[in-house]
Amino acid sequence: MTKPIFVINGPNLNRLGKREPEIYGTTTLAEVEAMCRQAAGQRPLRFHQSNIEGEIINWIHEAIDEGAGIIINPAAFTFTSIAILDALKMFPGPIIELHISNIHKREAYYHNSFVSKVATAVIAGLGPKGYPTAVTAMIGLIEA
């Protein structure tokens, strides 16, 4: 059985398409999920979003046991959550950190990512199209 890719989304991403469209665009999270599933093809994919840090950690734990790779957009938790960092440190496979905007062009408090310290790769600034790009890259990392 092929292990799934976990796509984990953090707080406020359920508001994509409505929240600050000048930064995040008008694509909804449901549309992002559809793009990811199309990019994954036959590879199984588990797509999650939560505004609750503990749920995100639980999905990372699930991925530790069952996943081939993690694509994570931790949103604001990127810059605040050592708990998510600690959970990701336990994951044995590739991790892609994903951001819709280029966090390095934004305010200084967006520049220090805890997740980058364990990520295999980082994708930032491609908008919602960064998601299928990440899925394609993850498949390459898994199959390498």
- pLDDT attached to residue 21: 86
99 is catalytic: yes
In angstroms, rounded to a whole number, what is the distance separating the alpha carbons of residues 95 and 98? 10
Q: Look up the pTM and report it.
A: 0.95
Assess whether pLDDT exceeds 90 at residue 103.
no
Q: Which of 48, 61, 99, 131 is catalytic?
A: 99
- pLDDT attached to residue 65: 97
Alpha helices in the chain (DSSP H): 21-24, 29-40, 53-66, 82-89, 130-143
More confident residue, 144 or 54: 54
First to last CA, the chain: 18
When pLDDT is cut at 50, 70 and 90, the band that residue 112 belongs to is confident
Assess whether pLDDT exceeds 90 at residue 11.
yes
111 is catalytic: no
Assess whether pLDDT exceeds 90 at residue 53.
yes
Written as six digits, the tokens of 108 are: 């200084």
Q: Is 65 annotated as a binding residue?
A: no
Q: ∠ at Cα 130 (105, 78), nearest 5°?
A: 55
Domain ranges of the chain: 5-139
pLDDT digits (tens, 9 = 90+) for 77-98: 999 899 999 999 999 999 999 9
CATH code for the domain defined by 5-139: 3.40.50.9100
